[in-house]
Structure 1
Amino acid sequence: MGAAPYSFSLEDSVHEKEGSVKLEEGQSPPSSDSDIADESTPTEQPNAHRYVTGWRLFCLLFGVSLAIFLANLEVTIVSTSLISITNDLNGFSRTGWVVVAYLITYTGFIIVWAKLSDILGRKVSINAALLIFVVTSALCGSAQSMTALIVFRSLQGIGAAGCFSVSMVIFFEMIPKEKYAKYGSILSADVALATALGPIFGGLIVDGTTWRWVFLLNVPGGLLATAILVFLIPSGFPHHWKPKSEQSKARIFSMECVERVDFLGSLLLIGANLLLVTALLEASTTYSWSSGVTIALIVLSAVLWVLFAGWEWFATKDTVKQEPVFPFRFFFNRAWMGMLINSVLLGVPFTVIVVDLPQRFQAINGVSALNAGVRLLPYALFAPLGSLLSNIIFAKKRLPLTLLLAGATFQFLGLILLATLPEKPDLPNSLYGFLVIAGLGVGLTFGTLVVITPESVEPRDLATATGAMIQSRQMGSAIGMTIGSSILNSYLKSNLRHVLSASQLEALLQTTAVVKTFPAELQLPVKQTFAEGYSLQMKVVAGIAAAEFLAVAMMVKLKHRK
């Protein structure tokens, strides 16, 4: 299996990795871990220019941060514009698909892009991803139906996955290891800020112009990021510091490259995700939970998950040409698996808060899209602050378990408190305190997971592990959004069928604007039912956040009995 993975003790100390480091061709073995991270040591002089420095470093940091920001902004910027989008395109019951279609392909292709960047090179991969993202964003902005928008959103997610995962890999390769904590705070804050500011940007756009600019703004932003990365990423990166004769030159689109990509594993992963979320979403609208279609989708999803695990076991063998999207050795790294599960669970509140709460504010409290986003400002500020705080603490004290436990605690408390919001039109000032607590918890957890990822796997798995960490959080986001939409749709249908006529209920599931056309005596119970549905969402999400404590427990190093 190679080098032993990191594990975390009860004292929260991060142990040095044991075993050998996989060497590049022609590279002498380092005498210690510091030999491959410290540019200033005499033994490192031949490789002194392997890292990017000076103005070029700061420009590249801006470029990759912009690519990451845009990809993550698209997850939540639609939150405050969903009401306008679905009312315009007549499809409120399909609201979840606008978010989930993006997240499914985003999730499925994150590791694929990371692996492709190993084969084709970082520079080619990141710019190809940005090109796909820009073109599909323009298509989303021109969509004329809900079906077209959902299809374009799924294609947009493919490009976004590359923007995120390849940028993360580039980030870890352009700076020395001892600076991960310092610059990692920028990266984790960038992700948290993009996710949290999405609703505000969406509200500004919807109140000031058409919702289509929610997608079209990615065109100039994506082109700027492309220009920076095309001109400033060194040729041959990350092996640009070697003589050209020693640089690995993979032939783009050659059969050798194609054979190394784990297409089957990627398709199995995407199929398993797609069938699962389709079953959860459609069971609350088109079909019932006991219908044959719903049961068949869930069973097929389970089969694909089993096949995915089996194929990855086979693809991890040295005799197989494919490079697995999820090496089977990951399953034997208990601390790493605990981190991945923690990331999946984190994705649920991370996204549900910024997507469902603005809808609640608009549907129940009657606020504008912009005001709904502004009410999330405490969350928007304290999520990145929590990420920054976790990196500062980790750099000085290296207490990963303590930070993760603190993050889970704050998330749970914040979500439970958000579930107690009253069903009245006026929102209490305590809402902002609840959002501060929840945002701080999400930020602490996410920032800690990002900074300890490189220390938790073998060097050869850094690109794949980085993609897996991102992928697991987005998978949690997709599942969380699916569960949230399913809970709300099911609650509305079961509790309003005796209050509204069949035609009124059907109209409500298409557009919330129809509530204003109901008689006054119906509007109050409809809004109350909406409030109860959203509160139920938060309670379920709080339960999911509580499961993070079990995931953290997996990272504790067990003591062997003598």
Structure 2
Amino acid sequence: MIMVIAPTLVPSEKFGKYLAIIASVFAIASVLGPILGGAISNNSAWRWIFLLNAPAGCVCIGIVALILPSSISSQPDVKFTNHLRAKISGAALRRVDVVGVFLLLASSILLVFAMEEAGTRYSWSDAVIISTFCVGGIAGILFVFWELFLEKSTSLQEPVFPLRLLKSRLLAAMMATAFFTGFPFVAIVVNIPQRAQAVSGLSSVKAGLALLPLLLTSPLAASVSGILTTNLKIPPFYLILLGSILQFIGVGLTCTLPNHSFDVSPQQYGYEALMGLGFGLSLTTVLTLAPLVIKEPYLGVAMGALTQVRVLAGTISLAICSTILNNCLRPKMASVISPSQLRAISDSLSAIDDLTPSQRIAVRQAFGEGYTKQNIFLTAFSGVSVLASLFIWEKKPRRVGEQQQAANL
């Protein structure tokens, strides 16, 4: 939501700078999550990771209610309560696309559930997985038809995502870039600490610290992108392309990490730095380009969609990576450890330390091979991200501060 309202609160010539700040905070939070989560679970119950979100959420609600300016800042006499009452009035609620929201959530949740559980709790041929895939797919198809219907109808409801926006080559390419960049970003942030625990035998805290190169370079690149696009007027396209290439190289190099060595390879930190620079540049600059491409009535929807596809891609990638790892581990570990030991490792990677030395070596090697296969999969999607970013090219690339050349949507 922050990405949606930002264009209405910030002048267009300063949007790149403020967006870089927002993206930097998001990047830091995304990478700090595994580090703090590891520290909490290592010293307390893992449930505290979720319980701590409650007071943090209350603080955020207070900040939004009392400090965040509204779009009616030009009318200082209007009270916040009156403005809030207008937003939740019957007329405003009738504009909400309830059916579209339901179909989109149903499709996303069911498909992600099926990909996460297939090959772990259920087999791929299980009725639960097949039915979930079918219902999720049908919900996705119905969502598309429903959005098309709303666009052509005279209903007061506003589509969750007006499909006419995809008629813009630039926006379609930007959404594809955000999707295929979000795919490896979330998976890498989760897999690096897991690999450090499963393969290198590090504690959850030290495994989280293995993310530091990515933690430092990603927000740095996001901040620099704001300076380059806003102050130096470098076209966002070039930064998106550069970020996609750096991400592709960094993720690809992680496929070369040795599986037989149980120490964290020093080269890994360099690969993380490359990935961090790539993620920071591409994910931030795609959003910087949006106000230069989309007209004002659709800008909020476009910003929300660009953020949503990135998060959705990350969720899907985690599910697929989990399936890849499980499919690699089960046949290799079946003859090495008992089913009860396998379940214990699935519940907590620290259970690897309870195995015999020979079992521990075999299990760590199996995990190493599984993570390598995951990285090969993520490299392929990073390559598609580079290809998608090329479709953002124009003969005269747009720059922040120039007159908008939005597509006729």
1:480 is displaced (CA, Å) by 0.9
Partner residue, 2:406: none
Distance 1:377 1:511 in 2: 23
Distance 1:553 1:517 in 2: 50
Task: Trace 1:64-83 onto structure 2 (pairs within 5 A).
Answer: none
Partner residue, 1:323: 158
Partner residue, 2:249: 413
**TM-score computed with the length of structure 1 as normaliser:** 0.65
- The one-letter code sitting in structure 2 at the alignment partner of 1:239 is I
Q: 1:492–1:533: 8 Å Cα contact kept in structure 2? A: yes
Partner residue, 1:515: 352
**Quick check: 1:239 aligned with 2:47?**
no
**Quick check: 1:388 aligned with 2:207?**
no
Distance 2:162 2:380 in 1: 30
What do the CA deviations read for 1:506-533 (whole angstroms, capped 9, x no partner)? Answer: 4433333333333322221111101111
1:476 is displaced (CA, Å) by 0.8
Distance 1:276 1:487 in 2: 16
1:248 is displaced (CA, Å) by 7.7
**Quick check: 1:429 aligned with 2:262?**
no
- The one-letter code sitting in structure 2 at the alignment partner of 1:464 is V
**Quick check: 1:351 aligned with 2:186?**
yes
Partner residue, 1:6: none
Q: 1:365–1:425: 8 Å Cα contact kept in structure 2? A: yes
1:501 is displaced (CA, Å) by 3.3
Q: 2:186–2:318: 8 Å Cα contact kept in structure 1? A: yes
Q: Which of 337, 341, 344 is equivalent to 1:504?
A: 341
What do the CA deviations read for 1:449-502 (whole angstroms, capped 9, x no partner)? Answer: 121122221201122122111111100111111111111112111222233334
Distance 2:52 2:123 in 1: 39
**Quick check: 1:298 aligned with 2:133?**
yes
Could you say what secondary structure the match of 2:152 adopts?
A: coil
- The one-letter code sitting in structure 1 at the alignment partner of 2:91 is E
1:203 is displaced (CA, Å) by 2.9
1:558 is displaced (CA, Å) by 8.6
Partner residue, 1:334: 169
Q: Which of 17, 27, 35 is equivalent to 1:200?
A: 35
Q: Which of 209, 213, 238 is equivalent to 1:378?
A: 213
In structure 1, list runs of 5 or more residues that go unmatched.
Answer: 1-164
- The one-letter code sitting in structure 1 at the alignment partner of 2:264 is L
Q: Which of 476, 479, 482 is equivalent to 2:319?
A: 482
Q: Which of 210, 221, 237 is equivalent to 1:401?
A: 237
**Quick check: 1:190 aligned with 2:29?**
no
Could you say what secondary structure the match of 2:292 adopts?
A: coil
What do the CA deviations read for 1:144-203 (whole angstroms, capped 9, x no partner)? Answer: xxxxxxxxxxxxxxxxxxxxx1x3333322221111122222111111111122222223
1:318 is displaced (CA, Å) by 5.6
Q: Which of 277, 284, 287 is equivalent to 2:112?
A: 277
1:266 is displaced (CA, Å) by 0.9
Partner residue, 1:548: 385
**Quick check: 1:309 aligned with 2:123?**
no
In structure 2, list runs of 5 or more residues that go unmatched.
Answer: 397-409
1:249 is displaced (CA, Å) by 8.0
1:335 is displaced (CA, Å) by 0.8
Could you say what secondary structure the match of 1:289 adopts?
A: coil
Q: 1:188–1:450: 8 Å Cα contact kept in structure 2? A: no
- The one-letter code sitting in structure 2 at the alignment partner of 1:520 is P
**Quick check: 1:448 aligned with 2:285?**
yes
Distance 1:216 1:502 in 2: 32
Q: 1:250–1:257: 8 Å Cα contact kept in structure 2? A: no
Could you say what secondary structure the match of 1:426 adopts?
A: coil
Q: 1:182 to 1:541 in 2, by over 3 A?
A: same
Distance 1:454 1:192 in 2: 21
Partner residue, 1:158: none
Task: Trace 1:195-274 onto structure 2 (pairs within 5 A).
Answer: 195-234=30-69, 237-242=70-75, 251=86, 253-274=88-109
Q: 2:178–2:306: 8 Å Cα contact kept in structure 1? A: yes
- The one-letter code sitting in structure 1 at the alignment partner of 2:257 is L
Q: 1:364–1:527: 8 Å Cα contact kept in structure 2? A: yes
What is the alpha-carbon root mean square deviation over aligned residues? Answer: 2.3
Return 476-485 or 279-288, whichever deviates more: 279-288
Distance 1:357 1:180 in 2: 33
Distance 1:209 1:511 in 2: 14
Higher relative contact order (CA 8 A, sep 6+): 2
Counting aligned pairs with the same residue, the percent is: 36
- The one-letter code sitting in structure 2 at the alignment partner of 1:308 is F
Distance 1:505 1:194 in 2: 32
Q: 1:288 to 1:201 in 2, by over 3 A?
A: same
Partner residue, 1:55: none
Return 329-338 or 297-306, whichever deviates more: 297-306
1:439 is displaced (CA, Å) by 0.6
Q: 1:358–1:373: 8 Å Cα contact kept in structure 2? A: yes
Partner residue, 2:200: 365
Could you say what secondary structure the match of 1:493 adopts?
A: helix
**TM-score computed with the length of structure 2 as normaliser:** 0.88
Distance 2:68 2:282 in 1: 31
